[in-house]
A and B are shown apart, each in its own frame.
Chain A
Amino acid sequence: MTRYLARRLALAAGALWAAYTVTFLILFALPGDPVSIMYGGESSDITPEQLAALRAEYGLDQSLPVQYVTQLGHALRGDLGTSVVNGQPVTHLIAEALPPTAQIAGLALVLAILAGGTLAVVATATRSRRLSGFLLSLPPLGVAVPSFWFGLMLVQWFSFEIPIFPALGNQGFSSAVLPAITLALPTSALIAQMLSRSLLHTLREPYVDTALAKGASRTRVHFRHALRNAALPALTVTGLVVGGLLSGAVVTETVFSRAGIGRLTATSVAAQDIPVVQGVVLVAAAVYVLVNLLIDVVYPLLDPRIVTGARRRTAPSAPKVPLVPVPAGGTR
């Protein structure tokens, strides 16, 4: 088991490094001159000499490979650069912005699992064709709704028309409700889709028939047999789900004028603040890698078919096991 863990950790570290390289390539190698992008290009009043000085300060007058190595070195020490807009260290900005986003993301995840999971279970367990058909038509609708529009609708109905929740800001728990619901919509649709597809597939498996032949009730089959098997492949999506929450926060926090990683990203992109954008993308990748690492550790505990090296299967070339002696000849 430890060897499996060590291997997974090494892979995770590798993935993180690769993500770093990709962001570097996009943000520093791709554009012709990152500095002029950051500082406004021709339309700004920065003189060419000042630009050159800035380049030297950022180390961008060096060759690309040198830049890469220098930046990587900094990053490994926790220094992700400084924001062009306000000069603050990127790590500081992100650390500040993370908690409010985590708040709505966490709440959204809980809501999404509850809503999506319940929908999938009810849709597959019910005997009513109509109910099942109706419920299963909801996820595509949930995915089709743009979250910025949905958020605005929520604000209109639950902030203005019926003033229950505040329309913006970071004050208190009630300000987190509407953003969380907005974030939860596409996520719950995704979870519902995945889980219901998985459940429908599982319920058609022959071992479900075996369970029914034992005299099990439909409920028992659904919850004791089907659900656990169906949930396993749905677990593999967790990384994507969390990533989606982070990226959804960009739009949601903009709509609700709420401070957090999302709004930080939005403003940084608008200002073409490359170091901050890089920092955010890195954090997103790190979260994804971490979540997947967690799932990789948990998954074998739930699915005994995954061989982690700790418990070996019987050798494939084992001959047929000698069986309990039976009376010779089988004819009646």
Chain B
Amino acid sequence: MSSLDALTAGERGPQPPTEAFVPTALDPNTRADQFAATSADRFADAVLEHEDGLTHRGPWRTRLEDLVRRPGLILALVWSLVIVVAAFAPSLLASGDPLAGVPADKLQPPSSAHWFGTDQLGRDLYTRVVHGTHLTLQAALTAVLVGLVVGALVGLVAGFVGGVVDDVAMRVVDVLLSIPALLLSLALITVLGFGTINVAIAVGLANVASVSRIMRSEVLRVRTSVFVEASHAGGSRWWTTLGRHVLPNAIGPVVVLAALELGAAVLAVSSLSFLGYGEPPPAPEWGALVAGGRDYLRTSWWLTTLPGLTIVATVLAAGRISRALDGDPGSNR
């Protein structure tokens, strides 16, 4: 179960209108005009107008203060950087060989020689975790790409075209949503076989449904906006409106989603590799590392705890960055 579900869960609530214009006689919540509805905007205008009444702070100082006030975000960014380096240039962080072990050093607790301790074959756990990053991240990124590309496309088409296409697509999506994501991945694994790539595809496809729902909702929200109709009434062709108005305004939440999905994919991928469906040993995928340490739980806590903490930190960082993107004043919501 991913945090993605938390986002899509709201989708069953009030849906955005599929028709921009509802004649006022059909809408019991109608008002004579929008004076009341725009009172907040007009107050903001009044504030803007009387800026000399404000005590100012320069723009750079404000941004810096914002960042400093959010230490969590700084940590998340730093950690993400570390992860990226570990994935693409692991030897920079850990010079040893993740597959080679010194049997005499087996099951050593963390020390200055072995930061994360050693496993039952004397392999340095820290090196294995660092090199495992590549596998896990590769799978997670592939999963996100698959889910995002397919899901966004389906959502975009369904939201923009509407009508029968929308109905059919959403019925299919609803059915896919009725099967929990993990089970769907498992079904796919059953027929595709094991391995990192298959895990990635399975996780990605299982997320298509959620992504398409969100994308569709965003596209609908923008499509029924007044400025989109204004563009159409002004004489623009439908594809210009789609490309220049709808897409740029609908894409923001998808970017937020991508960051969140990355964290969810890391979780899903490591769960599947924990269960044994990932790359066969001795590949140091994070989930497999935790599984491997399970037999030594009583004696060697570091074998399960430390790789697990790495997973937690990575998922947390992805979520933190996603939230920062969501609350960014640059995004238009």
Contact = CB atoms under 8 A, between A and B. Distances in A.
- A and B touch in their complex, CB below 8 angstroms: yes
Given A31-B191, A149-B290, A149-B311, A244 B5 contact: yes
Given A146-B312, A149-B304, A272-B190, A250 B25 contact: no
Interface residues of A, number: 65
A251 B277 CA distance: 12
Contacts of B311: 146, 149
B132 to A, nearest CB: 14
A142 B298 CA distance: 24
Contacts of B175: 15, 18-19, 22, 285
B271 interface: yes
Contacts of A34: 191
* Chief secondary structure at chain B's binding surface: helix
Contacts of B277: 269-270
B308 interface: yes
Interface string A247-263: 11011001100000000
A153 B305 contact: yes
Interface string A123-146: 000000000000000001101111
A240 B181 CA distance: 10
B263 to A, nearest CB: 7
Interface in B10-34: 10, 12-13, 25-28
Interface stretch (A47-55, A98-106, A174-182, A273-281): A273-281
Contacts of B244: none
B147 interface: no
Interface stretch (A56-64, A71-79, A187-195): A187-195
A89 interface: no
A165 to B, nearest CB: 14
Looking at A143, A153, A187, the one whose CB has the most chain B CB atoms below 10 A away is A143
B36 to A, nearest CB: 11
Interface string B299-310: 001001100100
A152 B297 contact: yes
A94 interface: no
A247 B181 contact: yes
B304 A281 contact: no
A30 B189 CA distance: 12
B188 interface: yes
B183 interface: yes
B12 A236 contact: yes
A221 B186 CA distance: 46
Nearest to B185: A247
Contact of A145 (B297, B312, B320): B312
Contacts of A80: none
B275 A251 contact: yes
Interface string B171-199: 11011111111111011111110000000
A255 B315 CA distance: 21
Given A152-B304, A233-B13, A19 B179 contact: yes
A144 B176 contact: no
A313 B3 CA distance: 38
Interface in A178-212: 186-187, 189-190, 193-194
Interface string B195-225: 0000000000000000000000000000000
A193 B13 contact: no
Contacts of A143: 2-3, 6, 315, 319
Interface string A262-292: 0001101110111001101100110011001
A26 B183 CA distance: 12
Interface of A: 15, 18-19, 22-23, 26-27, 30-31, 34, 37, 140-141, 143-149, 152-153, 155-156, 160, 186-187, 189-190, 193-194, 233, 236-237, 239-240, 243-244, 246-248, 250-251, 254-255, 265-266, 268-270, 272-274, 277-278, 280-281, 284-285, 288-289, 292, 313, 316-317
Sort A-B residue pairs by CB-CB distance and give the 10 closest, nearest first: A244-B1, A149-B308, A247-B180, A144-B315, A247-B182, A236-B12, A243-B180, A31-B191, A18-B175, A237-B9
Given A19-B179, A141-B316, 19 more contacts: A19-B178, A148-B270, A148-B287, A148-B290, A149-B312, A233-B10, A237-B5, A239-B178, A240-B177, A244-B5, A247-B181, A251-B275, A266-B275, A269-B190, A277-B186, A280-B183, A281-B179, A289-B178, A313-B28
Interface of B: 1-3, 5-6, 9-10, 12-13, 25-28, 171-172, 174-184, 186-192, 263, 267, 270-271, 274-277, 287, 290-291, 294, 297-298, 301, 304-305, 308, 311-312, 315-316, 319-320, 323
